Chain A
Amino acid sequence: MSEEIVLTVEDLIVEFPTRKGILRPVDRVNFNIKKGEILGVVGESGAGKSMCGSAIVGLIDRPGRITGGEIRLQNERIDNISHERMRKIRGRRIGMVFQDPLTSLNPLMTVGEQIMETIRVHLKISEAEARQRAIAALEEVGIPAASSRVDAYPHQFSGGMRQRVVIALALAAEPELIIADEPTTALDVSVQAQIMALLKKLCHERGTAVMLITHDMGVIAETTDRVAVLYAGRLAEIGPTKDVLSNPSHPYTIGLMASTPSPTGSTERLSQIPGSMPNLRAIPQGCAFNQRCTKAISACFKHLPILEPVDKTDVACWLYDEAYKDEAAEQSKTQLKEGA
């Protein structure tokens, strides 16, 4: 795998001005994705996963906008370019797959028309050639009898087949990056694995970088190379998937892993993280997780932790800061005593 970086997100901030003040669904998020790499993005509902994806393709709903940081595609900034230039990047260089294949396609157009239309906005080719390509694209995602199914309407496909069509659409112009926002959540469990395997296979073959947003830890474990954990719009931890899963460092990630059922199907009670993610209007000062964190120390309530390498992952947590090492150790001792 080459080390060429396809996407760089640096200190990204997304803000929504509202009557009651400014909301920040994405707050100084940093990550990159290399060619052929699959980055998983996890986090509770409302953590800002989709918002990150929308920011990258320039599709944040009004009145939200990017107010800080940079997004670079192959070292070119794409967060501050014109709408028209961004439009030419969407679909051509960044493809998207959304959650619900039932609603992602226009019900009044055949799937072929929709694929051809996408190819033809981006590539100067004839109608006949676009049709051949559309058929090839459908074949590639495993639609049987593609040359006749190309003229079928979306409602004539099952959910899983429709998501294949959506993937064909996202890949139609051979983008360098795919952003897949919970691509299997709306599907039958039986077809979820097939769709994930398909996405993974196609992206590996083409060296496409993938940002895979999901709630499913099983998908993360099987599919991704690295994983980013978001909490209240901030990055809590990011690192190679196996390290984050087997040896998480951030207290939130630790809690998240513990509350995920293990594949062995153990019946022991899952340790849910008590409490819930703070509302965007009520994010506490310091670490956003401090209300729920059992290890919180004084610094957590004052200063925002920044991402630092800990073991093999990058973690935003004061526990691992040299300056607070002693307090952290003290804290865990008292907790042990209390527990005993």
Chain B
Amino acid sequence: MLAFVIRRVGEALLVLFIVALVSFAMFKFMGDPIQSMVGQEATLVDQEELRERLGLNDPFPVQYVAYLGRVLSGEFGISYRVGLPVEEIILDRLPATLELALLSGLIAISLGIFLGIYTAIRRDGFVAHFIMTTSLIGVSLPTFLIGVFLIWIFAVELNVLPSYGRGETLDVFGVPLSIFTLDGLKSMILPAVTLGLYQMTLIMRLVRSEMLEVLRTDFIRFARARGLSNKAINFRHALKNTLVPVITVTGLQLGSIIAFAIITETVFQWPGVGLLFINAVNVVDIPIMSTYLLLVAVIFVTINLIVDLLYFSIDPRLKVGGGSKGH
């Protein structure tokens, strides 16, 4: 198992190394930082001097290593537009995105698994058919449309939920969070549902099809022949056997919730890193863009690693010494 973990961590680092290369390349080849740093009156000589001082004339690998060193020590550059260190700006925005992603992930997973089991067990029922049909809408409509639609119903027509912003926030260890105030929570509902809907549908459909698959297997048939109750069969035997693929997809989906947050945050003017990124793209604020890219990569890789480790706690066949003694 240790060898496996080491290998996975190695792979994760390799991925991050490559993403860092891409995000560094953005610096290097997209726009000239000198142009955006110096004023109108700077002479070509001034510019050249600055270029030399910043190490921009060094060979590419040297610059890349220097960049990696800065990244590792937590320096991500200065935002072209705001003029503040990027890490400060992002850290300031990150809690908003994380709490939103967490809530919508929670909604997506709990509702997705629950509805998946329900539609699998009651697969011929009317309600199950209804859920399956409506869920198609969840996967086929683009996120922003769903967001706009929800705003129209709940904010404009019914006027029960706010349509933009974080609402009231409460400081927890100096971090402002919406989730702990009623007003903040209300503000989170629409964006969280919008953000999680696609993932929820996906998880639901996956759990359903995996459940149906498992319910057809011999060991479920044998479990029935042993006289086990439906509850034991559905939950103890079937559900657990669907978990490995479900966790894989769920993990990836959580990663993409963070990535998809760009759209949702824009629609709901949610002041998180997604909105920050979109604004940065508009003004080609390279340091922000490349750091955002790195951040998303780190999140994806971390989730992937956790998913891989979770397999071990679920499936005994993967454990060391569990090699088959027969065939």
Contact = CB atoms under 8 A, between A and B. Distances in A.
Interface of A: 57, 59, 87-92, 95-96, 98, 100, 103-110, 117-118, 121-122, 153, 155-162, 166, 169-170, 173
Chain B contact patch, size range? 20 to 34
Nearest to B315: A108
A159 B324 CA distance: 10
Nearest to A83: B230
Given A108-B241, A157-B325, A173-B227, 15 more contacts: A87-B227, A92-B227, A95-B226, A98-B221, A98-B222, A107-B317, A109-B237, A121-B226, A121-B227, A121-B228, A121-B232, A153-B322, A155-B317, A159-B326, A170-B226
Nearest to B222: A104
Contacts, number: 91
B228 A91 contact: yes
Given A87-B229, A89-B227, A153 B316 contact: yes
19 contacts: A59-B224, A87-B229, A88-B227, A89-B227, A90-B224, A95-B226, A96-B225, A100-B218, A103-B217, A104-B219, A106-B219, A107-B241, A107-B316, A107-B317, A110-B316, A117-B232, A121-B232, A153-B322, A169-B226
Contacts of A121: 226-229, 232
Interface in B221-251: 221-229, 232, 236-237, 240-241
Interface in B278-327: 314-317, 322, 324-327
Interface string B258-271: 00000000000000
Contacts of B240: 108
Nearest to A157: B326
A162 B219 CA distance: 13
Nearest to A58: B224
Interface string B90-133: 00000000000000000000000000000000000000000000
A95 B221 CA distance: 12
Contact of A98 (B218, B316, B324): B218
A153 B222 CA distance: 16
B315 A118 contact: no
Given A121-B229, A155-B317, A157-B325, A103 B218 contact: yes
Nearest to B216: A61
Contacts of A95: 225-226
A20 B268 CA distance: 55
Given A107-B317, A108-B314, A156-B325, A90 B218 contact: no
Given A87-B229, A118-B228, A161-B326, A106 B223 contact: yes
Contacts of A109: 236-237
A249 B268 CA distance: 83
Contacts of B314: 108
A153 B227 contact: no
B232 A105 contact: no
B321 to A, nearest CB: 9
Contacts of A162: 326
A108 B322 CA distance: 12
Contacts of A88: 227
